[in-house]
Amino acid sequence: MVASLSCAHPGNWIGLPSHPVLPGTVAVGVRQALAAGWQPSRPGPAFQLLLPDSSYAR
């Protein structure tokens, strides 16, 4: 699975707004991907997931 977030990586050099990826955010992403049909045990291309700002566990 490849998860895309709408914020920059905390280590970005440009100074863009960022948020750390917390365990709760990862859990939300995994649950959303599973609900959307991701089957982690099946081979194939990476499952693409976009996590909107409202999904971040803060």
How far, in Å, CA of 41 to CA of 1, rounded? 11
Let me know the angle formed at the C-alpha of 38 by 7 and 5, rounded to the nearest 5 degrees. Answer: 0
Give the three-class secondary structure for 40.
coil
Q: Would you tell me how many other CB atoms lie within 10 Å of the CB of residue 39?
A: 10
The contacts of residue 44 (CB under 8 Å, 6+ apart) are none
Is residue 54 predicted with pLDDT exceeding 80?
no
pLDDT, mean of residues 41-55: 86
What is the value of pTM for the model shown? 0.76
> What is the pLDDT confidence band of residue 21, given thresholds at 50, 70 and 90?
confident
29: left (phi over 0), alpha (psi -120 to 50) or beta: alpha
